[in-house]
Amino acid sequence: MSAHAQSTPATGPATTPMSDMHKGATGAHDMKGSMMMGMEEMQKMPMSGNTDKDFAMMMKIHHQQALNMAEMQLKTGKSPEMKAMAKQIIVAQKKEIAQFDKWLAKQK
């Protein structure tokens, strides 16, 4: 074996630290879990018969799922581009959730 081969570290998945692989797998698993819980929540939500109210309630749940996923991306993601998008999503979704809450509060 040459000296160069001995001193050059291997690259690729085999050298990825286990903690990094676990962190990424956990993030993906958590995102899927968040989506499933949100879908369950929407399916269990009783419909009011008022299309506007039902839309606002279901979209609020949907936006909360997006927030959860974006927060997981910030914690476990690697891509600067995806992290930047996650930050934008958090700002936008929080604003829209507040708008839904304000509108829903007027409906009571």
Q: Which pLDDT tens digit goes with each residue over 38-57? A: 678 777 888 999 999 999 99
Q: Enumerate the domain spans of the chain.
A: 17-106
Between the alpha carbon of residue 54 and those of residues 2, 39, 57, 90, 97, the distances in Å are 69, 15, 5, 23, 14
pLDDT at 84 over 90: yes
Q: Which of residues 75 and 9 earns the better pLDDT score?
A: 75
Of residues 16, 30, 104, the one with CA closest to residue 67? 30
Mean pLDDT for the stretch of residues 88-101: 98
Nearest to 84 by CA among 69, 72, 74, 94: 74
